Amino acid sequence: MTYITTSNKPVITVMLDTLMDQPLQLALKEETLPAFTYFMEHGTYYSSVVAPFPTMSVNVESTLLTGHYSDQHGIPALTWYSEKENRIINYGTHLIDQMKLGLSKCLKDTLYRLNNEHLNTKVKTIHEELDEQGKKSASINPLVNRGNVPHRLTIPSFIRFFVTIDKHIETQTAAKYVYGRLSRLDPNGKYSSVWHKYGFNNKFSAQEFTHLVNNHDIPDFSLVYLPDHDKNVHKRGPMDTKGIKEMDKNLQTMLDSFPTWQEALDNHIWILIGDNGQSGIKDDKTQAFVDLRKLLKPLKVTKLSKGVRKEDQVVLANNLRSCFIYSLDTDDVPLTEIVEKLKTEERFDMISWKIDQWIHVAAGDKKESFQFKEGGKVKDEFDQTWEIRGDHSILDLTITGNDVTFGDFPDALKRLHSTLHSHEGDFVVISAKPGYELRGEVTPSHAGGASHGGFHKNDSLIPMLVTGTETTPDFFRMVDLKKWILALTSS
């Protein structure tokens, strides 16, 4: 295959898990951050880019790569219930969840089905579009990575000792493909042992990127994912800066692989971006966790280890601070029955479900409800039009004439609309207020720390730092970045 050579600057996108504006600003003041400071001095900083809902990594990555919300890309969240397969899909919420659901099934979901079956083939990823233009791209460690180039993953024997899974998995991805130890560029690379999460860590991602630099093989687009900061914030709370210092070191590793930092910036476009934010969780466990099974009593909720059984009425797919609640038979349990139970809980800031064209929204502490549907004469800040009725304060909308602006819930209407159209099934989606996490069969463990998955702006707004271009996406939303990135690679 011949590749078109262009004079374009390659686009290097670094996704820094859980990078948030306020702690970054604090860290820039209080810590020594040579790399972030250098990027800041030479680039433009945008404090608030909207992530998709639920604010979970696979949904975020799918939205970035396809330029669509989940109604089009088809990956609803980290865990969801597939009506077609009549089972809960889980790409990795918690090891205990996955053990209950069956580890080999979950691994196959994550390693194969996510990219090759669940991600809608009717939409194209950045990797696929670039390949069709004769350009190359790199995917370094994100879970979502579909492209046109066949690759073979090799499952380490240590994993196969515990889990029944094929030794090799064939997948279609970017030309340059890193997926932890399972697929790497640098055969001599460090940081990929079982103790290093098989390479799913920041140091490995940064080191693999430097392999491309050292070999003068930086493609037109790279997505480098640094996963580690998520767990720091889960544990130590939203204002943790220790993890930001560590990410600065990873960025230094990447910059140092070029002859000079100036050369790194002069000859490339850099996009540093978070993936989702997190909300602080209360210290007191009795307060912090909302017990969903208790709230839904006496309805019979599917047990993870048993799978969906005939007598079950409700399935829960719990994404930390948000949850999909499915009725398996709406003649038996109408969605409104579930909603009435949920409305008794004041710690929910959003309860939403769809009836025909209309999206209905309630909240734990409001008597009225709110409805909206696509089309109509009301226009929001992202040029999307809606018909609305009821109490719009539930979604913290400000309406001036026919113009809608958002408050606590960025891009609230489109994000909810897409979530409720992301997959088949009769379900309600809920989100907890900041301070709270949802408890299903497995108790969450982030009391006194932080968590995400929610609809609130704490979970939904992320910063972006750009060097090498003055252009901006149409809007500051994750969903608008693909179009902009493709333009950057062809300008």
Residue ranges binding Zn ion (CB under 5 A): 230
DSSP 298-323: TS-BPPTTT-S-TT--EEEEEETTEE
Question: Do residues 181 and 122 lie in contact, with contact meaning Cβ atoms separated by under 8 Å?
Answer: no
Residue closer to Zn ion by CB (options 93, 192) is 93
Residue closer to Zn ion by CB (options 281, 429) is 281
Kindly state the tokens that stand for 457.
């702006």
| Shortest Å, Cβ 128 to Zn ion | 27
Residue closer to Zn ion by CB (options 57, 352) is 57
How many helices, marked H, and strands, marked E, lie in the chain? 18, 24
Q: Residue 359 and residue 388: Cα distance in Å, rounded?
A: 10
Q: Report residue 10: phi and psi, to 5°.
A: -60, 145
Compute, in degrees rounded to 10, the torsion defined by CA atoms 43, 48, 54, 60: -10
Residue closer to Zn ion by CB (options 302, 319) is 319
Residue closer to Zn ion by CB (options 118, 452) is 452
Question: Do residues 361 and 416 lie in contact, with contact meaning Cβ atoms separated by under 8 Å?
Answer: yes
| Shortest Å, Cβ 404 to Zn ion | 30
Helix (H) or strand (E) holding 12: strand 11-16
Amino acid at 162: F
| Shortest Å, Cβ 358 to Zn ion | 32
For residues 39-58, b (16+ Cβ closer than 10 Å) or e, as one string?
Answer: bbeebebbeebbbbbbbbbb
Residue closer to Zn ion by CB (options 90, 327) is 90
Residue closer to Zn ion by CB (options 208, 230) is 230
| Shortest Å, Cβ 454 to Zn ion | 12
Q: Residue 211 and residue 218: Cα distance in Å, rounded?
A: 9
| Shortest Å, Cβ 134 to Zn ion | 37
| Shortest Å, Cβ 331 to Zn ion | 37
Q: Residue 147 and residue 116: Cα distance in Å, rounded?
A: 10
Residue closer to Zn ion by CB (options 219, 449) is 449
Give me the half-sphere count of Cα atoms (radius 13 Å) on the Cβ side of residue 114. Answer: 28
| Shortest Å, Cβ 180 to Zn ion | 17
| Shortest Å, Cβ 452 to Zn ion | 6
477 SS3 class: strand
Q: Report residue 27: phi and psi, to 5°.
A: -65, -35
Which residue of this chain has its Cβ atom nearest to Zn ion in the complex?
230
